[in-house]
Amino acid sequence: MSGLSQGAKEPGTEPPACGPTLHISPFPSLLSSTRELNGNNITRIHKNDFAGLKQLRVLQLMENQIGVVERGALDDMKELERLRLNRNQLHTLPELLFQHNQALSRL
CATH number, domain with residue 87: 3.80.10.10
Per-residue model confidence (pLDDT) at position 32: 79
Backbone φ and ψ for 20, nearest 5 degrees, come out as: -60, 140
3 state SS of 75:
coil
Please indicate, yes or no, if residue 73 is contained in any of the structural domains. yes
Domain span including residue 60: 36-107
All residue ranges of the chain with pLDDT < 70 are: 1-31
Please indicate, yes or no, if residue 59 is contained in any of the structural domains. yes
Per-residue model confidence (pLDDT) at position 87: 97
Per-residue model confidence (pLDDT) at position 67: 97
Please indicate, yes or no, if residue 11 is contained in any of the structural domains. no
Cα–Cα–Cα angle for 70, 42, 31, nearest 5°? 85
Amino acid (1-letter code) at residue 90? L
Please indicate, yes or no, if residue 76 is contained in any of the structural domains. yes
| CA 18/CA 40 separation, integer angstroms | 43
Please indicate, yes or no, if residue 48 is contained in any of the structural domains. yes
Is the whole model's pTM more than 0.85, yes or no? no
Please indicate, yes or no, if residue 8 is contained in any of the structural domains. no
CB 33 within 8 A of CB 59: no
Work out how many domains the chain is built from and give that number.
1
